Amino acid sequence: MLKTVLLILTLTEDGATRVTLTESDSPADCEASRDVVTQILTGAGNAPLAALCGETGLRLTPFVHGTPPEAETNLYRVELPKSGGFTIAPLAEGEACAPDTAADPAVWCARSGQSVLPNG
């Protein structure tokens, strides 16, 4: 079952890409959250690389503020087509990911403290 989610890509202090995925009740709620989160991140000097609302069947554990970098052990491949939307998939242990942000779709390899939930 697809859910509306907010996908955020940001740069970490060490230059890695971080992904967060947060469920929303509706597309309108997602857009409102996107606007607020983008303002907060930009105001803090860490404007998002991408902030998109969309649908996915992937379920992740809730995002927790202040997760230390060493706890961001989950790796994901995120694709952003120029036509809009996104896809996100977990990477298996040892699975390679080659970022190519100039391609269509752009490919981002990102880490997260959020892990895949069962049936996610």
Mean pLDDT of the chain: 93
User: Could you report the per-residue pLDDT of 50-74, keeping only the tens digit for each?
Assistant: 999 999 999 999 988 888 888 889 9
Q: What's this model's pTM, rounded to 2 decimal places?
A: 0.92
Q: Write down the domain spans for the chain.
A: 3-112
- Residue 111 — φ and ψ, nearest 5°? -110, 160
Q: Which amino acid, 97?
A: C
pLDDT at position 120: 53
pLDDT at position 57: 93
pLDDT at position 1: 84
* Number of neighbours of residue 68 by Cβ within 10 angstroms: 7
User: Could you report the per-residue pLDDT of 1-15, keeping only the tens digit for each?
Assistant: 899 999 999 998 889
Rounded percentage of the chain residues whose pLDDT exceeds 90 = 83
